[in-house]
A and B are shown apart, each in its own frame.
Chain A
Amino acid sequence: MEPQYQNLYDILANSQGYIFPNEIDLQWGILIVVYPFITGLVAGAFILASLERVFKVKILKPTYQIALLTALSFLLVATMPLISHLSQPQRAYEIMITPHSSSAMAIFGFVYLWYLAVVLLLEIWFDYRHSMVVWSNEKKGVMKWVYKILTLGVSDISPQALKWDRKLGYIITVVGIPSAFILHGYVGFIFGSIKANPWWSTPLMPIIFLFSAMVSGISLVLLVYMIISYFRKKTIDLNVLDAIGKYLFFVLILDFTLEALDQIHRIYVAEESFEIIKLLVSGKLYLTLFISQGLVGTLIPLITLAFLQFYKHKIKVRKTMYFIVGILVLIGVYSMRWNVVIGGQLFSKSFSGFTSFKLGLIGLDGTLMAAFWLILPIGILTFLLWLLPPWKMVDEEE
């Protein structure tokens, strides 16, 4: 027996009931769990940023640039788990050169590039141009040139030019909102459109992905804002936390309702796949679905956030509660991605049995690799915050 197959023999020995012989090898591992998690964070963070810009929620101003830079940091990494899970990563470019028009996956490259180049980079550029021009004049040595290059040579900071920056930035944000919706709704569609898999195949999938994306992105920005304030030794503005918390609360309610609707519908119509899915959620997914996603990631945060709408006393307690809620929600959304991606592959398409998933530590598809793709954006964000510190931006009178 060749050692490369040992893992598969172990899984075969642990399979339950009947699964098609080709199903023993699970196709999508932890990297495909990480991928929708990361894109969700991007879309969610961007939508929070646009709240401030388009809907003029002034209270969120301190989080505006943080949210944009967070979105960019994660977006830069978003494709990496996808590419590194391919069996032929060197051919990944084919998806851009010869996309197959009927494939949901083929469009990802274009949606991604649109979002990265047209929406995020441009918006951040317009937003920072004034400051970058000023910084390039103030700094000495290499940094002077770095900022000069970043302005792309557009150094006009006349009131007229700055007015245009604001105007164009606004237009891009308006375009960006549907783009963010498309980016993540589309990721949901990749799963939702697979009719062979009853756990995935639901038209609600893009909407569920979108709302869970918003939930996770908002939580991440909340956490990043708190952590940045801590390192900068600045007081956290509780009004900002309350405002983010309120949005988080409402979006979480919507998210919970949609997911509950999906499950209730499944239970009520009880189609051919119902028995196997019932076994799946009460067995292999029990911990990650009911405990991690449902209780820890949804119900506890919901109750806490509801409580925080009324409880206005001890400031320190409230801050701690917001911080914990942020973490719990992220755990919940990560579990949701796990339940969709891994859960959908654990049961056989014969609806008669289960395979099992053995998560490795090392290797291209292991835990360490997944952790790397999750930590890297945090490193990028730290760098971007150093390069483009929102708190040092030139104040503009609007």
Chain B
Amino acid sequence: MSQSASTMGNEKIGSSRRKFLKSAVTLAGATIGYTWLKSSQILIFAAEPKDETLPWYGIAIDIEKCIGCGSCAKACKNENDVPKEPFFFRNWVEQYTVKNDGTVDIVSPNGGIDGFVQRVPDEDIFKSFFLPKMCNHCAKSPCEQVCPVGATFLSPEGVVLVDEKYCIGCRYCVQACPYGCRFIHPVKKVANKCTLCYHRLKKNLAPACMEVCPTGARMYGNLRDKQGPLVKFLKEHTTQVLRPNLNTGAKLYYNALSSEAR
């Protein structure tokens, strides 16, 4: 073809066409590349807060203040219509007892709702603490990532929620949560989990578990508000999230988290 172009004296046009084609292909490639890159960024940082006017919620739990009364777990069940059987919890408390021989005894009878009895004799105890558990509302939540229909989603305020009318009940999210925070609601037959009492937050009320905590061991707040109480707490305490190695972007920060905690 180039030969015929040159014999017709169209070499210049031919080369400019080539140039045009080249730049068109480059442009298309760059666009596709950029779109791909952009979408993969979205995939990785799906949780990056978009709306600056909304709060970006985080939670802090002060292990030193928790007395293991289980009020939080009980209030959660009442507030959120969670079945009372001891297999379904949005919120529960564990009792860790590290023994002198190095072994760790962990219990959570009925999620701690009925309180705890120390079953390890005093002389064998190295240390003991309570560890309240709830959804970590991860910014890069594995449960949200794996949901095949997008029924689980991250609200603009950073709360991981489930659309009950949309969930197909495949249970993949339950498998994907490293913290064991999800279950299939035995009556609704869909995935269920802590919503940080989203219905209460919308009315400027604290989540039920925080409302009832007698020692103020739990707090929630806006991570964007640098002067706010949550950020202040995080600044003044040495906090840690559970399973940091999994890079879930957990937003539940524990003060005084012991290395045995999982």
Q: Which residues of A contact B (CB under 8 A)?
A: 2, 4-5, 8, 12, 17-18, 20-25, 27-28, 85-89, 91-92, 94-95, 98-106, 108, 190, 193-197, 345, 348-353
Contact = CB atoms under 8 A, between A and B. Distances in A.
A392 B146 CA distance: 47
Contact of B150 (A12, A100, A104): A100
Nearest to A104: B146
Given A18-B107, A91-B168, A349 B180 contact: yes
Given A24-B87, A86-B170, A95-B168, A194 B149 contact: no
24 contacts: A12-B87, A21-B87, A22-B174, A25-B184, A27-B171, A28-B175, A85-B170, A87-B171, A88-B168, A91-B168, A95-B148, A100-B148, A103-B147, A103-B148, A103-B149, A103-B150, A103-B172, A190-B172, A196-B175, A196-B246, A349-B180, A349-B262, A350-B180, A351-B262
A106 B148 contact: yes
A74 to B, nearest CB: 21
Given A18-B106, A91-B168, A8 B184 contact: no
Q: What's the interface size class on B, roughly?
A: 35 or more
B262 A350 contact: yes
Interface in B10-57: 43, 46
A94 B168 CA distance: 8
Nearest to A22: B183
A87 B166 contact: no
B180 A348 contact: yes
Judged by DSSP, the binding face of B is loop
Contacts of B181: 22
B87 A8 contact: yes
Given A22-B182, A27-B174, A102-B46, 17 more contacts: A17-B106, A18-B94, A18-B108, A20-B179, A21-B87, A21-B88, A24-B87, A27-B171, A87-B169, A88-B190, A91-B166, A95-B148, A98-B149, A101-B43, A105-B170, A194-B146, A196-B177
Contacts of B183: 22, 25
Interface string B149-183: 11000000000000000111111101111111111
Contacts of B262: 349-352
Nearest to A351: B262
A23 B180 CA distance: 7
Given A18-B108, A87-B169, A105-B170, A25 B149 contact: no
B89 interface: yes
Contacts of B240: none
A6 B147 CA distance: 30
Contacts of A86: 168-170
B89 to A, nearest CB: 5
Judged by DSSP, the binding face of A is loop
B151 to A, nearest CB: 8
A194 B178 CA distance: 9
Contacts of A95: 148-149, 168
A4 B106 CA distance: 28
Nearest to B167: A88
A195 B246 contact: yes
Contacts of B86: 12, 21, 24
Contacts of A351: 262
A8 B85 CA distance: 9
Nearest to A8: B87
Contacts of A87: 167-169, 171, 184, 189-190
Interface in B130-148: 133, 142, 145-148
B186 interface: yes
Contacts of B170: 85-86, 105
Given A20-B180, A91-B166, A4 B186 contact: yes
B104 interface: yes
A21 B150 contact: no
A274 to B, nearest CB: 14
Contacts of A25: 87, 183-184
A91 B186 CA distance: 17
Interface in B63-96: 85-89, 92, 94
A81 to B, nearest CB: 12
A22 B148 contact: no
B111 interface: yes
A14 B84 CA distance: 20
Contacts of B85: 2, 5, 8
Interface in B237-262: 246, 262
